[in-house]
Amino acid sequence: MKDVGIDAVEFRSGKLKLDLPGTFAEVKDEDPAKYTKGLGLHASSFPDAYEDIVTMAANASKRLMDRKGLEPDDIGRIDVATESAFDHSKPVSTYVAGCLEQVYDGDFRHANKGERKFACIAGTQSVDDAVNWIAADKNRGRAAIVISTDTALYERGDSGEATQGAGAVAMLIDEDPDLVTIEPEQGIGSVDETDFLKPNQQFPSVDGKRSMQVYLMRMREALEDYETQVETHPDDFAFIPFHTPFPGMVRKAAPLGYRHVARGTEVEDELAEEIGRQPRPEAFDDDEAYREALKEYTDKLTETERYQEWYSRAIEPTLDISSRVGNWYTSSVHLARLSALKHARENGIDLDHERLLVGSYGSGAQAEIHGETVQPGWEDEIAQLNVDDQLVERYDLSWEEYEQIHDVHNHEESVDVDPLTAPEKEFVFDGWGRMGERKYTYVE
């Protein structure tokens, strides 16, 4: 079977920044630690008045193509994953292709274009689709571009408002990739749920407590399904990128995953000397007593040196970018992967042929677990990204400016706000067409 995976990746943040422990916490009259320590967030990215899901996707894709020396004829597929689409018929990928055709010779006339929707997991599903397309030899030597792009806005005053964010990740999917190969085995956990949804509305309806429970249940089911095909061990994976709506959620999920994969291994045996063995259901008269014992064990587990070393090595590095940009919905797990690889390069960690365990999730609800193998070209690929430059250059919003920009991107509002930044060498939103469609142009 041919090796297929992510050959290259690009990152595009919204150009505005909202300081959470500073500006947001001050206006809300709340302790900044609620955001930095509780949610694990320091800032959110927002799009300027001329930015949206199309411009962020197109700008990430253009940089990806330029960097890899690609022309439209090299691309046989463009897939966009988003839960922020503004058209219920025409896919965002067609808008992106239209943008790119403004700046390249040739066109994407013979490239398949589509849009995936399943909350935050759609980005991973789109990667799966592209990998399968190439593995099935339908690509005729061409690569695929997969883009996850979202503006994750909540209604003003909603409990999720602090987790907002906006940006895009563009990935080149190809044979013999430079970044990671996608392993064929995958585990799925999927059940019809109403934890987070948008029934004919822009802003989500969220049952926060239920959503956390559903996230953990579907992840467990996906891991159990994955383990029917692949043996797992806590030390098998260099990094474990999780779906990260906010880092605090990953902090809650990580010990449950570690406990699960450590069960029945020498890790459990060694930990037993310190905190006892993991509870087994057959030792209890009822489910409630068993679950209480599991909780007590898990609390003890997180205090052990072994767990904390594992968390610092395999999980913490995946959270850095998300802590600085907020929730990007479909890009969430792809930011986690990028954050881990960036950390490894900056700290001289050799990842050649090391493995990642990727845990993706979308409300509604479905989780996917799969493995990836890091390829020898990963370091050169990551070195060409400008993540830190983009984040440092963001315009720092005042509270009044935040309120205005939120209205700009609220589909129910009609406001005319001057941009806070000046576009340069990028695609921008440029008004409305004759049928109510959004129009775009490239600014030199």
Cβ burial of 1 (10 Å; 0-12, 13-18, 19+) is: exposed
Question: Between β-strands 165-175 and 4-13, what pairing exists: parallel, antiparallel or unpaired?
Answer: antiparallel
Q: How many Å apart are CA 150 and CA 267, to the nearest integer? A: 40
Which one, of 275, 280, 281, 312, lies nearest residue 296 by Cα? 275
149, 167 Cβ separation under 8 angstroms: yes
Q: Which residues pair with 112 in a beta bridge?
A: 77
DSSP states along 385-423: --HHHHHHTSEE--HHHHHHHHHHT-TT-------SS--
In 3D, which of 320, 316, 396 has the Cα closest to residue 45? 396
Helices (H) and strands (E) in the chain, counts: 15, 15
Q: Are 149 and 92 in contact (CB under 8 A)?
A: yes
Task: Judge contact between 229 and 185, C-beta under 8 A.
Answer: yes
Residue 187 contacts residue 223 (beta carbons within 8 Å): yes
- Active-site residues, by number, are 83, 120, 243
Q: How many residues does the chain have?
A: 444
